[in-house]
A and B are shown apart, each in its own frame.
Chain A
Amino acid sequence: MNPYLYMTKMKLLLSMNYRFDFFTKLAVQVILLFVTSFFWKAAYRGIDTVQMVNEQQMIIYSVMSIVLASVFTASVESNIRSKVRQGNVAVDYIKPVNVFWMYFAEDIGNMVTNIIQRVAPVLICASFFIVVPKPVSLAHFLLFLTSSCFSFLILWLISALVGLFYFKVIEMGPIGIIKDYLIRLLAGTFVPIWFFPSSVQTVLQFLPFIYTYQLPLSIFIGRTSLNDALWGMLIQILWVLIFFALFVRLKNHVERNILVQGG
């Protein structure tokens, strides 16, 4: 088996180990599920459609948003952070592997774990108590899946870029967490961007965030037409390329001037 695949498998085994973590996170998601659905039900009271989206679609949007958020994990950043602080990057660099491929493989492992552990319970819970999150059509569903993969790549690269900064500055305080929430907010996970003022929307068109969550989600509920979906994915690919180029440059710089703490 390819070593990177094996790392994915190990990460899978590893994250299956934590039962307490599994149950608490699941509980949080279920609570979030109910809160957002009640919120949208209240918001839509007496209103049929807003911005081409009806209540049913909006609730599916928020359910799927929770599903996506529970699947997407990019632990590169926190991984690098703790490894740099403890000087354990050294241990990764003595292996004949591409270190970032290794981190990526581990994150894929985390993601597979999440799909197994989180997606099913959230979907079942939503289907029984809230709404059956059904895609508009098979074509929309397939595009949603593909687009989600690009979303993950964008998110992962952003996380890796922030992670690389830890080599330089060691500590950035809560910037990592702020970044996560900012992305979630600007990506339309809580409230879709189409509810934002149009000037804000225009600005966000040119930023990568809406291409992480909002694009796949609005494809899923059918707000984005198949044609627009393809265009959106083209922009996603563009962002992946931009971030990848940045990442490679920064990574080379860091590896040339790598900083190993202690010892």
Chain B
Amino acid sequence: MEQKTTPPVIKAVNLSKEFITKKKESGIKGAVKNLFFAKNTVKKAVDGISFEVQRGEIVGFIGPNGAGKSTTIKMMCGILNPSGGEVWINGLSPKKDRQVIVKDLGVVFGQRSQLYWDLRLGESFELLRRIYEVDKAKYDATMEDLDRILNINDIINTPVRQLSLGQRMRGDLAAAMLHSPALLFLDEPTIGLDVEVKYSICKFIKEINKKYQTTVILTTHDLDDVQALCDRIIIINDGKIVSDSSLEDIIDKTSPERQLIVDLYTDDIQLEHPRAEVVKIEGQRVTLKFRKTEISASELISYISKQYAIRDLSLVETDIDDVIRQIYKQQREPVV
């Protein structure tokens, strides 16, 4: 009952953003022409998207470059005003109440930093503490938490310009979380980072989500992050939502088939099953294709082991990169 009455953290209705760009013609002749008669073209970066996000969700926004993910995030923080539709954060419009909304909002733009380049990292934190009016005791407690996951104390006295990309990113994440916001926007937080840092960032996001019920919106191109973190994935392409569901659902819908590869001791193989398809037999190796909904892997394996002795086997999961690529291709045809 209680769950239903809590309003969504984010509610977007028919949200759109048009950018007017000057159409530039090429060449010297074109350049001269551009100077005097610039032609305006309207580009719809975000084209009427609607969605709701509930408290405590981790939602992944994915889509090809230029699909409108960052634009959507910027409209949600009030940096950009929508040219159509509305968005509400906790029932407030970022257009009117930017300062109120951002008070309870943490934002990380992977490609920009909110840290002061020339000063030690701690100095930026101190400033943020005052901007967000976090009292000292609460600040110390949060810092301790952040240090545990992100090892902030190792770098807190280093000038930001001397930090490596991974360290800076850790600093930026900590900076966004200092005031323990209820909502966190991460715009490509793992861009250009090594596996180790990526892992600790994912761990961090999971922990704060679990501990504080922080709602997280994540845009990324790294599907491993998405797989590790998101309960729900919104795929945007050409400014429109093409899919909004869990990753499993997407895989089930787009490519429900999995593969089982079995190595046997014989090359005289005659195998058939009504609910699985033998794709190929190569020497002692059999490849079978089956649907998770029709037969479980263990069922299939035990069926085979009754007939042949199995030396080795492997189960091939659908490659999510392939699945997503497939969805990007089917532009504008809703999958779900």
Contacts and interface: CB of A to CB of B under 8 A. Distances in A.
A88 interface: yes
Contacts, number: 72
Contact of A96 (B74, B102, B187): B102
A91 B187 CA distance: 12
Interface string A10-48: 100110010000000000000000000000000000000
The size bracket of the interface on B is: 20 to 34
Interface in B179-212: 187
A258 interface: yes
B119 A14 contact: yes
Given A3-B127, A94-B114, A258 B77 contact: no
A93 interface: yes
B112 A13 contact: no
B70 interface: yes
Contacts of A89: 79
B137 interface: no
A88 B113 CA distance: 8
Contact of B114 (A17, A91, A260, A263): A91
Interface string A79-107: 00000001111110111111000000000
Contacts of A249: none
The size bracket of the interface on A is: 20 to 34
Contact of B109 (A2, A3, A90, A96): A90
A7 B127 contact: yes
Given A3-B127, A6-B127, A263-B70, A93 B118 contact: no
B102 A94 contact: yes
B77 A93 contact: yes
A168 to B, nearest CB: 12
Contact of A91 (B80, B100, B112, B126): B112
Nearest to A95: B131
Contacts of A91: 109, 112-114
Contacts of A138: none
Nearest to A9: B127
B102 A13 contact: no
B79 A94 contact: yes
A89 to B, nearest CB: 8
B81 to A, nearest CB: 6
A263 B118 contact: no
A2 B130 contact: yes
Contacts of B109: 90-91, 263
Interface of B: 70, 74, 77-81, 98-100, 102-103, 105, 107, 109, 111-114, 116, 118-119, 123, 126-128, 130-133, 187
